[in-house]
Structure 1
Amino acid sequence: MGAAQQPTYPDADEVARVLAELRHRPPLVFAGECDDLRGKLAEVAAGRSFLLQGGDCAETFDTVTAANIRGKLRVLLSMAVVLTYAAQVPVLKVGRIAGQYAKPRSRDTETRGATTLPAYRGDAVNALDFEPASRRPDPRRLIEVYNHSAATLNLLRAFVKGGFADLRAVHSWNSDFVRNSNVEERYEQLAAEIERALAFMVACGVDNESFRTVDFYSSHEALLLEYEHALTRIDSRTDTPYNVSAHMVWIGERTRQLDGAHVEYLRHLRNPIGIKLGPSVTPSEAVALAERLDPDHEPGRLTVISRMGAARVRDVLPPIVEAVEDTGRKVAWVCDPMHGNTFETSLGYKTRAFSQVADELNGFFDVHQELGTWPGGVHIELTGDDVTECVGGVDELAEADLANRYETACDPRLNRNQSLELAFLVAERLTDGRIRRVNPVQEYSAEDF
């Protein structure tokens, strides 16, 4: 089977020139960092850590600014603090960032009135404007993906190692937002408790670098195989291939064909690999994919991200978990409560209801409670901006509010208040005594936040 969801470029020679240039570009991430992440995902799979993975549905070149990157990092750090302190579990932080520029589409074309043009497939392929020149697939955009990803990663590394992530500044992560809801009050109370705890530790002589920096990793869907191949390198230490465009890459629901090109490519990588599973997957298909992608039962190798929808998660997910667990693997089980709960309003806005997002998360936790397995993480489309793209939540956004700040280039994202509200919901479920905890009493450092 060929590669699904690939653009059709009009100039094959130009594609070849672009790919040749990318093959000579320096790595965006390093093999050792990917190995570190794989080790930390093994802790998630073992029930000793929790994965928080989040970011834009589709990054755009125009939004690669210091303010936007800082905002996304700030909301993820705030969520991680809630989860770590309230649930007393180490949190592994992975951004859906610095490479998420391509999106699969259900149709190859889009029609408006009498005009039909190629569908928008993300800034990696074409532009959002509905006119022929913009929608023409342009391989030179892949160079821009690399450049913008490099700029994003450079700034993220500066933030997480340069003082922005200092736990003693936990209140400042929240300072640029209007405090107008009870989720703000809950966060500020928690932040105050953390500050008092840190002050006590410093007074006792405990003050080290781990309070000031965090580990942060990048991830994206490995959709455009020509780009991903061009950024694959053979590691000199181990003589094995790594995708150096991100620490973790995943296969989407539309490209998980067992005999497809995406599975064939990713199974050879040494990166930790994710796979999205929707409600149509069968237990036998899930096991076959696990066997294909993780033949050696390697801890931390495979992260299974379910995206079933609120109405189906409690019925569809249990046999999937049981079948994969019966193989002896301990994969990281993660919930994407976003993609299975999308609908269109009467005014044409694609949106998600916070109540359904929360319901799918609760269903995910219910399933793992019943099976005695570890609900290892969440995979969220979010932004640090005060957008109005998903209805409901603590601010009670209605469909009429969507027009105020509907800014996404593709799928609707949780705004910062909704993201924090979701973090508190997850923390409450993690503290439920029925959730299996392998080692609930642990020593923590600031890197766990």
Structure 2
Amino acid sequence: MSMTPASAIPPAAAPAADWSPSSWRGKPALQMPTYPDADALAATSDELRALPPLVTSREILALKQQLAEAQEGKRFLLQGGDCAETFAECSSDVISNRLKVLLQMSLVLVHGLKLPVVRVGRFAGQYAKPRSADTETRDGVTLPTYRGDIVNSPDFDAQARIPDPRRMVKAHARSAMTMNFVRSLIDGGFADLHHPEYWGLGWVSQSPHAADYQKMVAGIGDAVRFMETLAGRRMQSLNRVDFYTSHEALLLHYEESQTRQVPRADGWFNLSTHFPWIGMRTAALDGAHVEYFRGISNPVAVKVGPSVTPDQLLRVIDALNPDDEPGRLGLIHRMGAGHIADKLPALLDAVQREGRRVLWICDAMHGNTESTSNGYKTRRFANIRSEIEQAFDLHAAAGTHLGGVHLEMTGENVTECLGGARELTEVDLQRDYRSTVDPRLNYEQALEIAMLIVRKRGAIGE
């Protein structure tokens, strides 16, 4: 999905001599399902190894270069999408709406920040989810927990909850279909800056932000026409955008099967996604996930929660980016609005003191999850906004760059997060709550976050 010139793409780092795609198997592997049929798992892994890759090493290295520029404050990363994809939602409407939201948010950011935006979607592979418990009990019946469509089914049924390795093949197929459709949309002009009005979502025509957005669209259209008048030609570079994918690389059997060497490039690449990340529950230094991640040439990220100490973080950085390679490592801090002021400064100071090059990213979603009195898992927009605002202030005080945000959001008209422009209440949640795992921002709330980022970054003078 990238059009970065070959001359601008840095070479991949050499692989570690003591690493292989399967070396993770000798480490403790948390959040992994137990497959009852080892032969079926092995056969499925062999089948996955023979399937075509989903991304290319060239795209991966192009993204790494863009992330290196984001580290220096020359770009801004927008990483967002569903908390967990489902097989049932692999449809043209759902995919195009996800893309529309990211494009609209990036348009707001480009216009307001006056910076190029790195667009990364949490989709085409976000089918696995970590869980707080291995089992779930309802009405006295205990079954294995639902770990995402790539593992088992959300139906509370004994057969449906058995981990099935064949679901990895289904996940690969749906990821390929998603990426193929996104590529086709982008290559076909869906992201053409000459026509951002095409990115609209019908149900938000009455949004409190609709007028501001339409005014912005009109202004960008005027600017594009002015530049083309001066140049005397149509600016073809505005017809499309670079777009990348990401997912939490939780299911290591799947990731290993997609890890390959390619001609004319050193190292091993995870060719299932451009930008995989490690979740907070699986970031142990001696764990299987850190072991797997340290050997791949992709840019990678790791979630950083409030319990992480400066020493722990520096050791993880040493493991994942020992050569201090630009664009290699993102740190996605997810502290919660009530903890970020106490927990983040020490981490910023430690990393800056050691002179380590990382991309700081704010996930203002996962530290702000709560349950309502009527039984819904939700997040308050006010807390999401507060954590982002505090993150900008704390980075400015430390002399570091907040280089991006990581959000769970959707283009559907859901009611899963409280507050926002329409001030959704607990009563509203039951109207259209669809998520099988975590609550997501809807379009209006996501666009409001983009506008907030522009205002806040301008206020601190960056």
Give 1:179 shift: 2.0
Q: Bigger CA drift: 426-435 or 413-422?
A: 426-435
Q: Which residue of 1 aligns with 2:56?
A: 30
Q: Which amino acid aligns with 1:415?
A: N
Give 1:206 shift: 4.6
- CA distance in 2 between counterparts of 1:303 and 1:259 reads 19
Q: Is the 8 A contact 1:279 1:312 kept in 2?
A: yes
Q: Which amino acid aligns with 2:153?
A: A
- CA distance in 2 between counterparts of 1:104 and 1:248 reads 18
- CA distance in 2 between counterparts of 1:155 and 1:294 reads 33
Q: Which residue of 2 aligns with 1:439?
A: none
Q: Which residue of 2 aligns with 1:297?
A: 324
Q: Is the 8 A contact 1:69 1:152 kept in 2?
A: yes
Q: Which residue of 1 aligns with 2:194?
A: 168
CA offset digits 1:175-233 (Å, max 9, x no partner) = 52332232111111111111111121222225222111000001000100110001100
Q: Which residue of 1 aligns with 2:18?
A: none
CA offset digits 1:218-258 (Å, max 9, x no partner) = 10001001100011001221241000000010111000000
Residue number among 214, 218, 226 corresponding to 2:253 in the alignment? 226
Q: Which amino acid aligns with 2:278?
A: I
- CA distance in 2 between counterparts of 1:288 and 1:434 reads 33
Residue number among 262, 279, 290 corresponding to 2:306 in the alignment? 279
Task: Give the % identical residues.
Answer: 50
Give 1:133 shift: 1.4
Residue number among 76, 79, 90 corresponding to 1:50 in the alignment? 76
Q: Which amino acid aligns with 1:252?
A: G
Structure 1 segment 21-420 matched on structure 2, within 5 A: 21-204=47-230, 205-420=232-447
The secondary structure found in structure 2 opposite 1:57 is coil
Q: Which amino acid aligns with 2:324?
A: H
Q: Bigger CA drift: 170-179 or 17-26?
A: 170-179
The secondary structure found in structure 2 opposite 1:132 is coil
Mark the runs of 5 or more structure 1 residues left unpaired by the alignment.
436-449
The secondary structure found in structure 1 opposite 2:326 is coil
- CA distance in 2 between counterparts of 1:258 and 1:224 reads 17
Q: Is the 8 A contact 1:314 1:366 kept in 2?
A: no
Give 1:59 shift: 0.3
CA offset digits 1:93-138 (Å, max 9, x no partner) = 0001100000000000011111111100000000111111111111
Q: Which amino acid aligns with 2:128?
A: A
Structure 1 stretches of 4+ with a deviation exceeding 4 A read none
CA offset digits 1:335-388 (Å, max 9, x no partner) = 000000000111211000000000110111111111121110000000011100
Q: Bigger CA drift: 238-247 or 224-233?
A: 238-247
Q: Is the 8 A contact 2:416 2:433 kept in 1?
A: yes
The root-mean-square deviation of aligned C-alpha atoms, in Å, is 1.0
- TM-score, normalized by length of structure 2? 0.93
- CA distance in 2 between counterparts of 1:175 and 1:112 reads 38
Q: Is the 8 A contact 2:122 2:246 kept in 1?
A: yes
Give 1:432 shift: 2.2
Q: Is the 8 A contact 1:46 1:330 kept in 2?
A: no
The secondary structure found in structure 1 opposite 2:331 is strand
Count of aligned positions: 435
- TM-score, normalized by length of structure 1? 0.95
Q: Is the 8 A contact 1:179 1:185 kept in 2?
A: no
Mark the runs of 5 or more structure 2 residues left unpaired by the alignment.
1-26
Q: Is the 8 A contact 2:125 2:273 kept in 1?
A: yes
Q: Which amino acid aligns with 2:175?
A: S
Give 1:433 shift: 4.3
